[in-house]
Amino acid sequence: MPPNDWGARTMEETPLEHERRGKAARLRAAGIEPFPWSWPGRVRSGEVRRRAEALSPGATDPGPAVRVAGRLRALREHGRTAFADIEDADGALQLLLREDDMGGTEYRGWLRDLDPGDILGAEGLPSRSNRGEPSVRVGRLTLLAKAIAPPPEKFHGLKDAEERIRRRYLDLIASAESRERFSARSRIVYEIRRVLDEEGFQEVETPILTPVAGGASAEPFVTRSRYLDEDLSLRISIELYLKRLLVGGFERVYEIGRCFRNEDGDTTHNPEFTLLELYWAYADYEDMRALVERLYERLGRLAATLLPDRPEALAAARDFVPPFPQIDFVDALEGKMGLSGLMEASPEELGRLAREAGARLPPDASPGRCLDKLFEHYVEPTL
């Protein structure tokens, strides 16, 4: 197992892990709990940086003291002074450790027992280094969690795309951009709910385990309920239960939920995914089109606010302004294929055309599914 592998663990312990466990045991023997349960009164690094940036280089804020916490990224020793870089949700912050402030025994003990990946708590005064770096001049240092396995290299990270997806926690440790993407997604999902709530839709939760995985054309994951003594499927769509709610009297319903498809995956298709589905009584596709335009306009503006340095986010705010251009499905497809009469073609002919375009379809694929695959191949890349 590679020494920086935080993935699936085995019973075999690496020499580096053995060394770190020894440090944790030594700390505990000295009366320092390597996994304490709280650090009250913490402030985020962004607030500390703002206080420190108001100081002149080499100056220290007179008080009050602050308590910060974060993952140790790097530790640099320069005799009786050391610099520790920690990182929290706001970003990086430098800790200034001085033997004169902490005492010789404590100072040397921390330098001996700290490792990259440890979670630290520090109490001290905001300051600014001689080079102008916002810092905390530490009077008290506390270990909040001892890292037994070393983190991935900060400057190399995870190069393999599949590994980054399989071990998201490693990707998040190594990549601020990935953490930013997670935060943006959370805000976007919140904004979707906000828009639909404003439009009068009611959010619901429908079954994930279903007797029949209906509502879409895909291969389901199948399991068995011992209690019910019957086979069940993980849903591949939310459609059928939402429609039943309309039958029951609800007029505007939606769900943002997990769905599952036991099929091939790629960067745009995952076996497990989040689906937004909504239904609206007494409305037609024109009403739904206008609703989607309003929703995308809000999300485009939000994306530009959350990710102002990303060109695609700025493009979303610029392009998602109603009314959107409209194209005819069949006209666009026939134009790209250089054919006519697709709607009169037999299911067998449509299936042949779709397979020639690279689609993997069952022998009995419906005309609608064949047309969808053709549109996906010929038209979608040009939209």
pLDDT for position 269:
77
Q: Among 380, 376, 217, 196, which Cα is nearest to 277's?
A: 196
Q: Among 165, 368, 354, 159, which Cα is nearest to 271's?
A: 165
Structure tokens at 89: 């949700």
pLDDT for position 170:
82
Cis peptide before 64 (omega within 30 of 0): yes
Query: Apex CA 103: angle with CA 98 and CA 105, to 5°?
Result: 115
Query: Apex CA 322: angle with CA 317 and CA 327, to 5°?
Result: 110
Residue 219 Cα distances to 19, 109, 215, 237, angstroms: 48, 58, 12, 11
Q: Are 93 and 68 in contact (CB under 8 A)?
A: yes
> pLDDT: is 106 or 158 the higher one?
106
Mean pLDDT of 38-57: 93
Beta-strand runs (E) in 15-101: 66-78, 81-88, 91-98
- Cα distance from N-terminal residue to C-terminal residue, the chain: 45
- CB-based contacts of 199: which residues, under 8 Å, 6+ apart? 252, 291, 294
Mean pLDDT of 186-202: 97
Q: Among 80, 10, 79, 88, which Cα is nearest to 42's?
A: 88
Q: Are 41 and 64 in contact (CB under 8 A)?
A: no
- Of all residues in the chain, the percent with pLDDT exceeding 70 is 93
Structure tokens at 166: 């399989």
pLDDT for position 11:
61
Average pLDDT value for the chain? 90
* Total-model pTM: 0.78
Collapsing DSSP to helix, strand or coil, 76 comes out as: strand
Q: Dihedral (C-alpha) 164, 90, 148, 138: value to the nearest 10 degrees?
A: 160
Q: Is the pLDDT of residue 9 over 70?
A: no
Q: What is residue 329's DSSP assignment? A: H
Question: For 120-140, what is each residue's pLDDT tens digit?
Answer: 999 999 999 989 999 999 999
Q: Are 99 and 107 in contact (CB under 8 A)?
A: yes
When pLDDT is cut at 50, 70 and 90, the band that residue 157 belongs to is low
pLDDT for position 59:
92
- Of all residues in the chain, the percent with pLDDT exceeding 90 is 69
Collapsing DSSP to helix, strand or coil, 370 comes out as: helix
Q: Report the range of poorest mean pLDDT among 12-21, 76-85, 229-238, 278-287.
A: 12-21
Question: For 302-316, what is each residue's pLDDT tens digit?
Answer: 999 988 888 888 998
pLDDT for position 239:
92
Beta bridge mates, 257 = 275
Mean pLDDT of 168-193: 89
pLDDT for position 159:
65
pLDDT for position 2:
43
Structure tokens at 339: 């054919």
pLDDT for position 160:
67
When pLDDT is cut at 50, 70 and 90, the band that residue 175 belongs to is confident
DSSP string, 275-289: EEEEEETT--HHHHH
